[in-house]
């Protein structure tokens, strides 16, 4: 159920951004780049922040656990910061 809620939210956001994109007349591939890469970068940043700052002792002793993403360990605000930084980089390259 959680996946369905997240998917609906992403598609709604994509629809809103696509409509607003027509106002600003930007190439549509920038919007698609944002919607493809921001969730990926957000997950990577959230996982790395968890590894580096919250559970470093556990992962330093057994580095293979870094790749066990299904066990958990994501920091939501680090994912948001990583996504915001990626959007800023994309916006800076467009301008």
What string of H, E and C letters represents the secondary structure of the chain? Answer: CHHHHHHHHHHHHHHHHHHHHHHHCCCHHHHHHHHHHHHHHHHHHHHHHHHHHHCHHHHHHCHHHHHCHHHCCCCHHHHHHHHHHHHHHHHHHHC
How confident is the model over 67-95, as pLDDT tens digits?
A: 888 887 888 889 999 989 988 888 888 76
Query: What's this model's pTM, rounded to 2 decimal places?
Result: 0.74
How confident is the model over 14-52, as pLDDT tens digits?
A: 888 888 888 887 777 777 888 888 889 988 999 989 888
Q: What torsion do the CA atoms of 49, 78, 75, 54 make, to the nearest 10 degrees? A: 30
50 in Cβ contact with 75 (< 8 Å) = yes
User: For the chain, first and last CA: distance in Å?
Assistant: 39
Measured CA to CA, the distance from residue 53 to residue 50 in angstroms comes to 6
């Amino acid at each position: 159920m959680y996946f369905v809620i997240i998917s609906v939210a992403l598609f709604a956001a994509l629809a809103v951004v696509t409509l607003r994109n027509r106002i600003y007349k930007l190439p549509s591939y920038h919007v698609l780049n944002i919607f493809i890469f921001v969730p990926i970068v957000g997950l990577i940043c959230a996982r790395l922040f968890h590894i580096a700052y919250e559970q470093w002792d556990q992962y330093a002793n057994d580095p293979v656990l870094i790749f066990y993403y299904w066990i958990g360990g994501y920091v939501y605000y680090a994912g948001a910061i990583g996504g915001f930084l990626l959007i800023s980089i994309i916006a800076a390259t467009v301008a």
